Amino acid sequence: MSYVQALVPPEHASNHLLVLPGTTDVAVVRRLAEAWFADVRWLKEPAARSGASQPMTGARFRGMTAAPADPQDVGPGVLGIGADHGAAGPFTGSQDAAAQLGMPEDVRVFALGRVDGMFDRRGGRPASLDDRDGIARAFVAGLPEGEELRLVQWGVAVARKLGGLVLADGRQLLRPDPGGSVDLRLFSAHPIASADLLALLRSVVATAELDAESVGPDGSATFRLVARTPYDGTLTLDAQRVDRVPRALVDIDPAEYGPFAVTVRWVPQDPYELRLEQPSGLHVIARTRMRAMAARLALLTHARTGGVLVDDGAFVATTAEIERRLDDQQSSTRAWV
């Protein structure tokens, strides 16, 4: 595609390009990388652009004090991700190229690929193109393997979270729908009883019921709640004590979360559509309603127990992010029963 050269320098034109809104901070990109990968470090730190003149401050510039540099106005660096790969950037794409991609005028671009200049080995052709992210479609001639595949999957997850896109190999467009992220997990230091969680669930689906419950060797309860609807599918809530938490929580004070996890998951009428890059219109309508319902349940549970929310991209999700899912669904989140 001709606009790729307007996004990154020529030496990165064949990399996987992660195109994000221009307001995206490089520190956010690093934090999201650390949520997936153990070995993340700056091989070359982004530096403030030395050529950019700073506006003067003070009464008629009597003090001749330069205003602080914009922390987002930085030149490209190289973020090492894993043993051999990384993200070079941010690069500032042209407004015309951003417009061709359907992005806002200002974009920040990160080139994902090997940092040693070598080429990754590609595997065989995908057995099926059923994949909600479109990765199999983008690499129909041969799938990436190992660390490169993980890097592409991460780039797509970041694009979904931040409202961006990925150009696989610099040419195959992957534009994940942010509305496709429905499931949530809450990690709390305080358990919630099945009766209390069932009451929260019945506040949005009156016919919700306890599906299974057991007690583990340590005395902690494990249970599943089910809320079935005739048109929009089923919400399941699984509560259990876990031995491991997502990597995204590593840098968070352990006092803010705990081992008690509540997972809110949506199962549509036709689960196969979860595997489609372009599901049917009816699926999308149901997903929009259930996404808001899952968000409301997660917020209600968070208000009861505290803790940290993690989205289905394995990234930490703030309550403000989850509240925006309610704004996306203007009608009532109460399901038909």
What DSSP designation does 232 have? T
Phi, psi for residue 140 in degrees, rounded to 5: -65, -25
Length of the chain: 337
pLDDT-derived band of residue 241, with 50, 70 and 90 as boundaries?
Answer: very high
Q: 160, exposed or middle or buried, with CB in 10 Å at 0-12, 13-18, 19+? A: buried
* Cα–Cα distance measured from residue 275 to residue 22, given in angstroms and rounded to the nearest whole number: 30
pLDDT at residue number 298: 97
pLDDT-derived band of residue 54, with 50, 70 and 90 as boundaries?
Answer: very low
| 299-332 pLDDT tens trace | 999 999 999 999 999 999 999 999 999 987 654 4
pLDDT at residue number 158: 98
In the predicted model, is pLDDT for residue 68 greater than 60?
no
Question: What is the average pLDDT score of the chain?
Answer: 89
In the predicted model, is pLDDT for residue 208 greater than 80?
yes
pLDDT at residue number 257: 96
pLDDT-derived band of residue 119, with 50, 70 and 90 as boundaries?
Answer: confident
- Give the mean model confidence (pLDDT) for residues 39-67: 60
Give the CA distances from residue 8 to residues 23, 25, 164, in Å, rounded to whole numbers and listed in that order: 17, 18, 16
pLDDT at residue number 216: 83
pLDDT at residue number 330: 58
The mean-pLDDT minimum among 11-25, 29-43, 91-105 falls in 91-105
21 near 103, Cβ under 8 Å? Answer: yes
Tell me how far the alpha carbon of residue 173 is from its chain's centroid.
18
| Percent of residues, the chain, with pLDDT higher than 90 | 76
In the predicted model, is pLDDT for residue 63 greater than 70?
no
pTM: 0.88
Read off the tokens for 8. Answer: 């990154």
pLDDT at residue number 5: 75
pLDDT at residue number 329: 67
